[in-house]
Chains A and B, each alone.
Chain A
Amino acid sequence: KNQVEQSPQSLIILEGKNCTLQCNYTVSPFSNLRWYKQDTGRGPVSLTIMTFSENTKSNGRYTATLDADTKQSSLHITASQLSDSASYICVVSAMDSNYQLIWGAGTKLIIKP
């Protein structure tokens, strides 16, 4: 069964610190992996999309990594800011579907001043 699991479920860090969020998936055949940021009361916003051949992709202070062999991805946030408080969702696409994405339940990140 295609699944995406994220850890931790929630995380609290101090402003200015770094953190890493984890995503494990069992989706096959793999097409791409996405990270979304969702602020409270808003829709998800795309941070990165990575294909099989990409190991690392950055978007400002966000860096996503992908290990297609172990089916793991991580999202690293550098020098956190209060505005980084949000849920971060890992999403995987399979090659055999045009429309269905497999969504993780998200990691809720809280940045404290």
Chain B
Amino acid sequence: DAGITQSPRHKVTETGTPVTLRCHQTENHRYMYWYRQDPGHGLRLIHYSYGVKDTDKGEVSDGYSVSRSKTEDFLLTLESATSSQTSVYFCAISESVVRSNQPQHFGDGTRLSIL
């Protein structure tokens, strides 16, 4: 298994509070991604990173921000959590862009509930 650790694995918080999820990799992969997974939907890309301090928005980035100060760590922050952000969040890494034949490797997710 690829060395990807997500923390925390579960979190329950209240509307309006800030939340930070962490993704840590030991594979030295350049590319990192944050997805959310909701019932009935495919995974949706929130933000991605193509290097240290290099990040960009995905298709559902509103209400989320990210930071990558080291190759191995990619943080996802919900500045003021809303109930619509209740979801399972997955971090992924890859050696190359998705147009290549390299797979993305995923962590085991963070289950976030916002009450």
Contact = CB atoms under 8 A, between A and B. Distances in A.
Interface residues of A, number: 27
B90 interface: yes
Nearest to B1: A45
Given A103-B43, A105-B40, A98 B97 contact: yes
A43 B45 contact: no
Interface stretch (A65-73, A74-82, A89-97): A89-97
Given A42-B108, A100-B45, A32 B101 contact: yes
B27 interface: no
Chain B binding surface SS class? loop
Interface residues of B, number: 28
Contacts of A97: 98-99
Nearest to A9: B40
A51 B100 CA distance: 9
Contacts of A99: 31, 33, 45, 48, 50, 56, 58, 97-98
A2 to B, nearest CB: 11
Contacts of A43: 4, 90, 92, 106-109
Contact of B98 (A51, A89, A93): A93
Contacts of B90: 43-44
Contacts of B70: none
A18 B90 CA distance: 30
Contacts of B92: 43
B22 interface: no
Nearest to B94: A99
Interface string A1-29: 00010000000000000000000000000
A4 B48 contact: no
Contact of B103 (A4, A42, A49): A49
A46 interface: yes
A111 B98 CA distance: 32
B108 A41 contact: yes
A49 B96 CA distance: 14
Interface in B1-54: 4, 31, 33, 40-45, 48, 50
When A and B form their complex, which 4 residue pairs have the shortest distance between CB atoms, in order from nearest?
A: A103-B42, A43-B106, A46-B103, A98-B97
